[in-house]
Amino acid sequence: MSFNLIRSCPSCGTKNRAPVPHLADDGRCGACQAALPPVNEPIDADAQSFDPIVNEASVPVLVDFWAGWCAPCRMVAPEVRELAREMAGKALVLKIDTEAQPALAARFRVQSIPNLAVFKDGALVHQQPGAVPRAEMRRWIENAS
């Protein structure tokens, strides 16, 4: 059974269940039949949603481990958000708040933030601490494709 993300229709506001394997696909609203584009913004993930998304995604997943008090995290956040927009349909972007999800941060040995990781088919393929340019993050994702 696939994990579902709830997405609101941009036309009518109806909440639609979107299975993780289809988050990078074009879809249709169940109520008004309007187009639901691929996810094009970072997904705030938690311990319950992290594994299903990383394991079931049909595209690479960039994970941004961050915290609200972290100035470099706040600096890289607009780049991560823009990357999610640019890579819609080709990648998913998750944000993990390390203050709210310390077990996930510990699981991936996150000792400094921001910490960026790329997963493909559930496997960690790249991880790097520190803020980097969006072009570098894009290159990681493209290499994982």
What is the rounded distance in angstroms from the CA atom of residue 73 to the CA atom of residue 6?
26
For tokens 């059974």, the residue is: 1
What pTM was computed for the model? Answer: 0.93
Every domain of the chain and the residues it spans = 4-36, 43-144
Q: What is the chain's pLDDT, residue by residue, as a tens digit (145 residues)? A: 568 899 999 999 999 999 999 999 999 999 999 999 999 999 999 999 999 999 999 999 999 999 999 999 999 999 999 999 999 999 999 999 999 999 999 999 999 999 999 999 999 999 999 999 999 999 999 999 8
**Is 32 known to be catalytic?**
no
Topology of the domain covering 43-144:
Glutaredoxin (3.40.30)
pLDDT at 3 (0 to 100): 84
From the list 12, 29, 32, 73, the catalytic residue is: 73
Question: What are the distances in angstroms from CA 35 to CA 9, 24, 57?
Answer: 8, 13, 20
Q: Mind giving me the DSSP string for 84-103?
A: HHHTTTT-EEEEEETTT-HH
**Is 9 known to be catalytic?**
no
